[in-house]
Amino acid sequence: GAVMAHGHGRCSCCCGEAAAAAGGGERGAAWGLYLRIDRQRLQCLNERREGSGALVFRAWEERGDRAQFVESDDDEELLFNIPFTGNVKLKGVIVMGEDDGTHPAEMRLFRNIPHMSFDDTAREPDQTFSLNRDPTGELEYPTKIARFSNVYHLSIHFPKNFGAETTKIFYIGLKGEWTEAHRHEVTICNYEASANPADHKLEQITPQTHFIS
């Protein structure tokens, strides 16, 4: 119950007047998942310039830096394979491009299919969005959170744009929560924590028992 209340309180301050009064600082903090991307293994397929796909994942406050962008190469399609350094509950996505035909028109999300290729995009995505042109990076596309509550790898496929030969993206924002993925270590810690109090209990009870008898 307490967790729910906390989550709601945090959510309400991100929307509306409070965020505007804070100058968007709260909102920017919500888009921090780019820090949880495993950049060594991040892939962008059909990018014209190698490594440019990684540039679009950055701080929300820096989304206006138009020197950093990715452009598609052979046709209008782009496919991002995004591994995270833990488990992510993905809540929303922002896609920012030019106010012209190069802006992607559709976005398809796939969860937990590492190393996707364009062949793999024939399968049914976990969620599809029709995109509006968003040259300022303000439009947020909310995910079906139940479907994206345990994501260690996210693939984003942009199959088409608004009519240009190539697709151009300046910024992709990812909003959500991140948890560390070391399940094994957690188990060990829990075991030790539950074992110790039991030891103490025995020590305390035993002397009293002898004393009474």
Q: What is the CATH number of the domain that holds 163?
A: 2.60.120.470
- Per-residue pLDDT reduced to its tens digit, 24-42: 467 777 899 999 999 999 9
Residue 19 maps to a domain: no
| Cβ partners under 8 Å of residue 20, min gap 6 | none
Provide the whole-model pTM.
Answer: 0.75
| Cβ partners under 8 Å of residue 144, min gap 6 | 126, 127
Cα gap 174→112, rounded to integer Å: 16
State mean pLDDT over 110-119.
97
Write the CA distances from 186 to 177, 179, 182, 191, 207, integer angstroms.
18, 12, 7, 9, 34
Residue 65 maps to a domain: yes
Residue 3 maps to a domain: no
Residue 134 maps to a domain: yes
Query: Could you give the number of structural domains in the chain?
Result: 1
Residue 109 maps to a domain: yes
Residue 5 maps to a domain: no
Q: Which domain holds residue 169?
A: 27-180
> Is 47 in contact with 21 (CB distance < 8 Å)?
no
